[in-house]
Structure 1
């Protein structure tokens, strides 16, 4: 029997706490306009988890939700405004922002929506036009 690793995370002020367990389904960078605008940054570092791997342990009633599109339900702390995660129902995954899981060894494997990039990152990782085929995208590669 193997012991499943878990990681603690929280919003900016700590009013909302959560754990993620196991290993993420994927880690990478998203360059889409929506993620850039939401995060107020040129790129979003994501970790994708199955919903059952994400457990809010404190402050669930303090989580706000906004969905600009049916593909993304963005979650934040109502106290500090700190972004926590985004539910992606169509993919069956939750994006827990890499920055809010301090002990997770972040190891990106892909760049998604790279044709929208405002910050080019030449790191040798695959660069995709949208998302991988297995997540409902085209899987089409674009130049670094």
Structure 2
């Protein structure tokens, strides 16, 4: 028997349901142009998971995919348009939007692509110019 925590999530209308299990590889806020445009908001709250930790439990045939670049495969519900997650093949991780897993204890640790921000957030968390070095970025932090 596993001690892993499992959290349920889904789209806006409930046609697509999924679970995430275990611990995320990271959590934070993304301020990049793509995330802002996709979310129609000034910032995206992300949780990054190993792909095997994300399991579709209902409505797999109702998931649409769009990739503007090979870096991100964005997924949404074909019925309501509700955003679900983004697969990042280059990083080997899946970004499950924090808002789509309501009971998950979201604890952000970093801001990425903060040089593009449209919403200054003075929360004491590190602000990365792009992404951490271990994720292929410069690792440069910038001022709040």
- TM bin, normalised by shorter chain, reads over 0.9
Is 1:131–2:136 an aligned residue pair? no
Q: Structure 1 stretches (4+) deviating beyond 4 angstroms?
A: none
Q: What's the CA shift for 1:2?
A: 5.3
Other-structure match for 1:44: 44
Is 1:55–2:63 an aligned residue pair? no
SS in 2 for 1:7: strand
Q: What's the CA shift for 1:61?
A: 0.5
Aligned-pair Cα RMSD in Å: 0.8
Q: What's the CA shift for 1:138?
A: 1.1
Q: TM-score, normalization: structure 1?
A: 0.98
Deviation digits for residues 46-84 of structure 1 (CA, Å, limit 9, x no counterpart): 000000100001000000000001100000000000000
Equivalent-residue separation in structure 2 for 1:82 and 1:107 (angstroms): 23
Q: TM-score, normalization: structure 2?
A: 0.98
Structure 1's 93 and 14: CA in aligned 2 closer, same or farther, altered over 3 A?
same
* Gapped regions of structure 1 (runs ≥ 5): none
Aligned residue pairs, count: 144
Other-structure match for 2:70: 70
Other-structure match for 1:23: 23
Equivalent-residue separation in structure 1 for 2:13 and 2:68 (angstroms): 25
Other-structure match for 1:121: 121
Equivalent-residue separation in structure 2 for 1:14 and 1:7 (angstroms): 15
Q: What's the CA shift for 1:14?
A: 0.4
Q: What's the CA shift for 1:134?
A: 1.0
Segment drifting more, 29-38 vs 134-143: 134-143
